[in-house]
Amino acid sequence: MATGGVNADLAKERERATFDSEQLTNFLYRGPEKVRRKRYLQNLAIQDPVFKKAPLWAFLNREQQYATALKKHLHAYRRIQELGITEPVEKFYYREAAAPHENSPIGLHESMFIPTIEKQATEEQKRKWLPLCHSLKMIGTYAQTELGHGTFIRGLETTATYDPVAKEFILSTPKLTAMKYWPGNLGKTTNHCLVMAQLITKGKNHGIHMFMLQTRDMETHQPLPGIELGDIGPKFGFFDNDNGYMILKDVRIPRENMFMRYYKVLEDGTYVTPPGDRLNYLSMVLLRSAITSMIGQHLSQACIIAIRYSAVRRQTEISPGGEEAQVLDYQTQQYKLFPALATSYAMLMAGRFMYDFYLKTTAQIEKGDLGTMPQLHALSAGLKAFSTWECTAAIEVCRMSCGGHGYSHASGIPKIYVDATPGCTYEGENTVMMLQVARFLMKMYTNLQKGQELPSFVQYMTKSLDTKSCMKEEVAPKCLVMAYEHRASRLIKAAADAIQAMVMSGSSPQEAWNKNTVPLTWAALAFCHMFVVKNFFEMVEDAKMDGQTKAAFMALCKLYAVNGVITHLGEFIQDGYLNNQQVQYIQKSLLDLLAEIRPNAVALVDAFDYPDAILQSCLGRYDGQVYQALYDFAKSSPLNEKEVLDSFFDYVKPVQQELEAMNQPMARL
């Protein structure tokens, strides 16, 4: 254990902050009452002996990691029920503190399996399945991706063929590429799954539909006949999760196991047309809508670690013989870390918007109004892709900004990175998601040409492109937002013009689209970027907090916007929207903002309010006693349990002896 109170540099950082970090914490968690409740729940979990005694994940092999994750998450599941915690966000706080570095082997049961039953099953199906799910008799997952197809859902090869005589579906993965591959917790943990399969009835394929499949016996946990299951092996991260494979050999399930709230197959095999298309993609939309907040949280943890450590770490004397500087005082270090910090706040704000929008829109869908589905799809796909790309890149910057110690699991950042980066792939590969956004934007652009009204968040397209920036020496939020709107409008128009020109010269619309997917992704990215910037400004402006806190928050918001312009400068100046003088104002503003944020950097990460027990980082400790903690971490390495390892006698000694014998003068003769 590290001792010695709070590191003097870190203590000074907290004293010099110009605002009270607690105010920002209250804003982030939606009020002081909610903060108190969060801390109470987190403390309950942190003090629980089952969680306290669990070994550190980094020193365990994969089987031990899996068992630890299972033990912790099942204990948390039971405790959450005993404590009567029902609010999803409160469950999240408890679980996060209970198992901060263990991905849940029952995570998909809770985040996809149960919500899909709630949203896509009939009342009768819900009555049958939900009680079993809540008591964990049924533990399920979401089995969609196959060996051969993940992105192109319509190309999935698993079939569900209806047999009207037996009133059953026959589930089959007819070739190697059809086997389910990747679904989380499918390999060993779950005993049920939702299978996405091509529905075939009366000889006709009706496309992808959802079916409930029992995969293992509910007592013995053995796989059921006709089903081969297993873990897919170790991965880049998510070590403690059994992502699985599954082969189905003509497995029969009752007709009632098709999810029939929207889509139906009658007893005689008649397919009943659904009220709306793509309704069975809604489970993916739920997770996509939640990912922006989740990834913002991952990045906020990396920022806490890197910024606290940079305040404690001293390296190189600035003037000969003088004191070595805190590395956080180097402008280059600030340029790495403060944009990352601003990005994490930007994504937390975007995630807040996104999840609220999801709840609002799905409430309308539940009432049969599907009008806003395309907007929900476009925004959730776009923000999911944009936020995961931006945040994972920034997490890696945080890691490298910690120098050598950032490479050690003692820092906590490598684990954050490997668990965050698959967010770029799962729930829709990011480029593919951006192309879905582009498809939506092109539609909106066409509607605009036809004089139709546009939804509010694409109103920016209606503004004239024939303008110049209003940017002055005092870089104003309004001018920054307008610059982002201009860039997004110009890029969608450029892509549309390029496609139209190709069509006019004889290409098919599909060919023209495919030859312009790169500019289309530029346009989609610019749209998402603009959305995040605008939303960030709006949320800061509306935030109820004292003037000093708001000023500190606003500085971050401006930095996010200014840094984005500099990073993508070409796209802002290509048509002369910003002139040379204005670019200089923006560059100066960036440096001024770094200096303005500097005294508040530690308070801005303290505001995220992560206890040490959740961070589990030697570098990110609240007390800054990083060197003692690193030494303790090294001492606890299992390699240090024995002074001399057996492998020394097994491998080093024999080779030494052989080499010694070979090099004897006699042996050389």
Ligand X SMILES: Cc1cc2nc3c(=O)[nH]c(=O)nc-3n(C[C@H](O)[C@H](O)[C@H](O)COP(=O)(O)OP(=O)(O)OC[C@H]3O[C@@H](n4cnc5c(N)ncnc54)[C@H](O)[C@@H]3O)c2cc1C
Q: Which residues ranging from 435 to 494 are in contact with ligand X (CB under 6 A)?
A: 435
Q: Which residues ranging from 150 to 169 are in contact with ligand X (CB under 6 A)?
A: 150-151
Is there a binding annotation on residue 151? no
Is residue 287 at the binding interface for ligand LOKYT7XV, with CB under 6 A as the rule? Answer: yes
Using CB under 6 A, pick the residue from 111, 116, 144, 489 that binds ligand X: 144
Residue 246 tokens, joined: 């599954």
Classify residue 651 by its DSSP letter. Answer: I
Q: Is 427 a catalytic residue?
A: yes
SS3 181: strand
Q: Which does 154 bind (CB under 5 to 8 A by kind): ligand LOKYT7XV, ligand X, none?
A: ligand LOKYT7XV
Say how far apart CA 473 and CA 469 lie, in whole Å.
Answer: 12
Using CB under 6 A, pick the residue from 62, 126, 278, 568 that binds ligand LOKYT7XV: 278
Say how far apart CA 315 and CA 347 lie, in whole Å.
Answer: 32
Query: Which amino acid makes up residue 19?
Result: F
- C-beta of 436 vs 617, nearer to ligand LOKYT7XV: 436
Q: Which does 573 bind (CB under 5 to 8 A by kind): ligand X, ligand LOKYT7XV, none?
A: none
Site size toward ligand X (CB under 6 A) is: 22
- What Rg do the C-alpha atoms of the chain give, in angstroms? 28
Residues 223-252, one symbol each (x = binds ligand X by CB under 6 A, - = not), give ---------------x----x---------
- DSSP of 130-145: HHHHHTTSS-EEEE--
SS3 96: helix
Classify residue 270 by its DSSP letter. Answer: P
Residues 427-466, one symbol each (x = binds ligand LOKYT7XV by CB under 6 A, - = not), give xx---x---x--x---------------------------
Candidate ranges 107-115, 402-410, 523-531, 577-585; the one touching ligand LOKYT7XV (CB under 6 A): 107-115
- C-beta of 31 vs 88, nearer to ligand LOKYT7XV: 88
Is residue 151 at the binding interface for ligand LOKYT7XV, with CB under 6 A as the rule? Answer: yes
H or E element in which residue 204 lies = strand 204-214
Is there a binding annotation on residue 184? yes
Q: Between 88-98 and 62-82, two packed helices, what is the crossing angle to 10 degrees?
A: 140
Neighbours of 318 (CB within 10 A): 10
Say how far apart CA 465 and CA 76 lie, in whole Å.
Answer: 55
- Smallest gap from Cβ 196 to ligand X, in A, equals 7
Q: Between 331-366 and 517-542, two packed helices, what is the crossing angle to 10 degrees?
A: 90
- C-beta of 104 vs 333, nearer to ligand X: 104
Q: Which residues ranging from 402 to 431 are in contact with ligand LOKYT7XV (CB under 6 A)?
A: 426-428
Nearest CA to 395 among 368, 363, 418?
Answer: 418
Say how far apart CA 477 and CA 463 lie, in whole Å.
Answer: 18
Note whether 211 and 171 are within 8 A (CB): yes
Say how far apart CA 373 and CA 15 lie, in whole Å.
Answer: 49
Nearest CA to 357 among 375, 381, 370?
Answer: 375
Say how far apart CA 330 and CA 325 lie, in whole Å.
Answer: 8
Residue 450 tokens, joined: 């036809």
Using CB under 6 A, pick the residue from 72, 377, 405, 487 that binds ligand LOKYT7XV: 377
Note whether 160 and 211 are within 8 A (CB): yes
Q: Which of 390, 396, 427, 485 is catalytic?
A: 427
- C-beta of 283 vs 489, nearer to ligand X: 283
- DSSP of 418-434: HHHGGGGTTTS-HHHHH
- Which residues is 223 bridged to in the sheet? 216
Q: Which does 431 bind (CB under 5 to 8 A by kind): ligand X, ligand LOKYT7XV, none?
A: ligand X
- Smallest gap from Cβ 241 to ligand LOKYT7XV, in A, equals 8
| Cβ neighbours of residue 207 closer than 8 Å, sequence gap 6 or more | 154, 198, 199
Q: Which does 177 bind (CB under 5 to 8 A by kind): ligand LOKYT7XV, ligand X, none?
A: none
Q: Catalogue the E-assigned strands of 365-467.
A: none
Is residue 184 at the binding interface for ligand LOKYT7XV, with CB under 6 A as the rule? Answer: yes
Using CB under 6 A, pick the residue from 29, 51, 93, 142 that binds ligand X: 142
The closest residue (CB) to ligand X is 150
Using CB under 6 A, pick the residue from 66, 93, 142, 577 that binds ligand LOKYT7XV: 142
Is residue 183 at the binding interface for ligand X, with CB under 6 A as the rule? Answer: yes
Note whether 366 and 274 are within 8 A (CB): no
Candidate ranges 75-83, 212-220, 369-377, 635-643; the one touching ligand LOKYT7XV (CB under 6 A): 369-377
Using CB under 6 A, pick the residue from 65, 144, 173, 191 that binds ligand LOKYT7XV: 144
Q: Which does 245 bind (CB under 5 to 8 A by kind): ligand X, ligand LOKYT7XV, none?
A: none
Burial, 366: exposed, middle or buried (Cβ in 10 Å; 0-12, 13-18, 19+)? exposed
Is residue 531 at the binding interface for ligand X, with CB under 6 A as the rule? Answer: no
Placement of tokens 């008591």 in the chain: 135
- C-beta of 422 vs 599, nearer to ligand LOKYT7XV: 422
Nearest CA to 59 among 50, 51, 68?
Answer: 68
Say how far apart CA 162 and CA 257 lie, in whole Å.
Answer: 12
Say how far apart CA 470 and CA 499 lie, in whole Å.
Answer: 31
Is residue 184 at the binding interface for ligand X, with CB under 6 A as the rule? Answer: yes
- Smallest gap from Cβ 432 to ligand LOKYT7XV, in A, equals 5
- Smallest gap from Cβ 649 to ligand LOKYT7XV, in A, equals 44
Query: Which amino acid makes up residue 93?
Result: Y
Residues 396-435, one symbol each (x = binds ligand X by CB under 6 A, - = not), give --------------------------x--xx-xx-xx--x
- C-beta of 237 vs 599, nearer to ligand LOKYT7XV: 237
Residue 9 tokens, joined: 């540099």
Residue 389 tokens, joined: 């790309």
- Which residues is 211 bridged to in the sheet? 195, 258
- Smallest gap from Cβ 135 to ligand LOKYT7XV, in A, equals 19
Site residues for ligand LOKYT7XV per CB under 6 A: 88, 107-108, 111, 115, 142, 144-145, 150-154, 184, 278, 281, 284-285, 287, 290-291, 294, 373-374, 377, 426-428, 432, 436, 439
Site residues for ligand X per CB under 6 A: 108, 141-145, 149-151, 182-184, 238, 243, 422, 425-426, 428-429, 431-432, 435
The set of catalytic residues is 427
Q: Binding site membership for FAD: which residues?
A: 145, 184
